[in-house]
Amino acid sequence: MNTTGKVDVLLGLQWGDEGKGKVVDVLTPNYDVVVRFQGGPNAGHTLEFEGQKYVLRSIPSGIFQGGKVNIIGNGVVLAPDLFMGEAKDLEKSGHPLKERLHISKKAHLIMPTHRLLDRAYEAAKGKAKVGTTGKGIGPTYTDKISRNGLRVGDILENFQEKYAAHKARHMKMLEALGWTDFEGFDEVEKTWMEGVGYMRQFHFVDSEHEINNILRSGKSILCEGAQGTMLDVDFGSYPFVTSSNTVCAGACTGLGIGPNKIGEVYGIMKAYCTRVGAGPFPTELFDETGKMLRDLGHEYGAVTGRERRCGWVDLIQLRYSIMINGVTQLILMKSDVLDSFETIKACVAYKLKDGSLTEELPYELEGVEPVYKEFPGWKTDMTKFTEQSQFPQAFHNYIKFLEDFLETPIKIVSIGPDRDQTIIL
């Protein structure tokens, strides 16, 4: 583990929901500080310990272990009303935050009108809609890039004036899109403003300075990615992606750290694959097996409750994600979900539309056919195991194959949602 003032980055290698929150919580004792660098309340990171379950959206998953400082970096987008709800719930359940959760002044604010714009753009796309979480992520990052954003630091001066100007601009855009549904808007706006007031009780920081000072003092930082590599705006299955850089490089721009500061890159992968929302998914299963994965894995969205699409693990896609992120070690999640399967499949090549085979992720994923390798299932309940030596031989073999094919070691295997159901290899 990292103790030399380096930053380790943990991120999802598939289409999100790989189990990042659980692993951040497990690894937090090895670090001094935990930070989020991109995304916003589109994320839903689930943690379970001591019989309790928590879902975090904007607050880093390092908040539960050892009273450590957690930082929301400049690359994150924050909705004050949702942040207030999340933070108050945590405080109510006995996890005080105000002193140890720091928020970058450069993080952008998701306004109520950004959420309406999100819905309006989706409606305008019709059948081609992305299936966003509806949290205003796209419109907020669009405003950031087009130099029209409202930031956390803006709260400190003439906020009402700035808010009104941004809102007026958004209203014109909504009008142009033909959007007329403003039901409940005034109420939402009121709670949002309350959220802004609530946020003022937290430390607003120049997080790039804070983070680099932490590193200079020899302390270690764990970065918690949100979404997954296939949802990255540059490298994901565009346009069916989110609007931020979810890949490792996003930690540099989303925090203000040099690439030479990055140490370990933990790649989180499920032993199968899921996706929420629209877009290509080569190994998706529409049959009983897909349903079995969904039922056994409880594959329903942590934020929206939507059914997750399920399929076999895709090693071509994973190899691509490992390459883009420079993954140094893999963490295999939800292997217990496969405990009862007779046969397990992994995609080891794609057949393209012209009939040729490839092991490289193509520009166009729609319409590619997966070529599978089959493995005998281990047919053993692994959920109560405490060490690697208890793994059945068939599972050992499966892990070995994954490591060889992906040319990356698997260092942790997760065998259930609880913090304790974690085997370090």
- Report the relative pairing of strands 45-49 and 262-270 from DSSP bridges: unpaired
In the complex with ligand GDP, the residue whose CB is nearer, 56 or 205, is 56
Q: How far apart are CA 63 and CA 231, in angstroms?
A: 25
Q: Which does residue 135 touch among ligand GDP, ligand IMO, Mg ion, none (CB within 5 to 8 A, set by kind)?
A: ligand IMO
* 268 is an interface residue for ligand IMO by CB under 6 A: no
Angle at 158 between CA 153 and CA 163, to 5 degrees: 80
Dihedral sign for Cα atoms in the order 379, 382, 385, 389: positive
The minimum distance between CB 47 and ligand IMO, in angstroms, equals 12
Q: Which does residue 154 touch among ligand GDP, Mg ion, ligand IMO, none (CB within 5 to 8 A, set by kind)?
A: none
| Chain contacts with Mg ion (rule: CB under 5 A) | 17, 44, 302
- Interface residues for ligand GDP in 13-32 (CB under 6 A)? 16-22
Binding mask 230-249 for ligand IMO (x = CB under 6 A): -x----------xx------
Q: How far apart are CA 9 and CA 228, in angstroms?
A: 13
- DSSP symbols for 346-415: EEEEEE-TTS-EESS--S--TT-EEEEEEEE------TT--SGGGS-HHHHHHHHHHHHHHTS-EEEEE-
In the complex with ligand GDP, the residue whose CB is nearer, 155 or 331, is 331
Q: How far apart are CA 268 and CA 62, in angstroms?
A: 16
| Residue 24, C-beta contacts closer than 8 angstroms, at least 6 positions apart | 10, 34, 45, 60, 61, 62, 222, 224
Q: How far apart are CA 140 and CA 384, in angstroms?
A: 44
In the complex with Mg ion, the residue whose CB is nearer, 116 or 313, is 313
| The binder of ligand IMO chosen from 58, 113, 132, 317 (CB under 6 A) | 132
Q: Which does residue 41 touch among ligand IMO, ligand GDP, Mg ion, none (CB within 5 to 8 A, set by kind)?
A: none
In the complex with ligand GDP, the residue whose CB is nearer, 61 or 207, is 61
Interface with ligand IMO by CB under 6 A: which range of 9-17, 60-68, 159-167, 352-360?
9-17
Tokens 């920081």 sit at which residue? 205
Q: How far apart are CA 221 and CA 81, in angstroms?
A: 28
In the complex with ligand GDP, the residue whose CB is nearer, 205 or 402, is 402
Residue 278 gets which letter from DSSP? Answer: S
The minimum distance between CB 176 and ligand GDP, in angstroms, equals 35
Beta bridge partners of 46: 55
- Interface residues for ligand GDP in 151-170 (CB under 6 A)? none
Q: How far apart are CA 121 and CA 115, in angstroms?
A: 10
298 is catalytic: no
Q: Which long-range contacts (CB under 8 A, 24 or more apart) does 236-239 make?
A: 237/15, 237/279, 237/280, 237/365, 239/130
In the complex with ligand GDP, the residue whose CB is nearer, 166 or 309, is 309
In the complex with ligand IMO, the residue whose CB is nearer, 70 or 132, is 132
144 is catalytic: yes
45 is catalytic: yes
Q: Which of 144, 166, 170, 345 is catalytic?
A: 144
| The binder of ligand GDP chosen from 2, 5, 48, 193 (CB under 6 A) | 48
| The binder of ligand GDP chosen from 28, 42, 65, 414 (CB under 6 A) | 414
Helices first, then strands: H and E counts in the chain: 11, 20
Interface with ligand GDP by CB under 6 A: which range of 9-17, 110-118, 152-160, 164-172?
9-17
- Interface residues for ligand IMO in 68-107 (CB under 6 A)? none
* 75 is an interface residue for ligand GDP by CB under 6 A: no
- DSSP symbols for 8-24: EEEEESSSS-SSHHHHH
Closest CA to 285 of 195, 192, 370, 163: 370
Could you give the C-alpha distances from 337 to 35, 59, 285, 297, 298, in angstroms and in order?
29, 28, 15, 6, 9
Catalytic residues: 17, 45, 144
Contacting positions for ligand GDP (CB under 6 A) = 12, 16-22, 44-46, 48, 298, 302, 333-334, 336-337, 414-417
Contacting positions for ligand IMO (CB under 6 A) = 12, 15-17, 42-45, 130-133, 135, 137-138, 226-228, 231, 242-243, 276-277
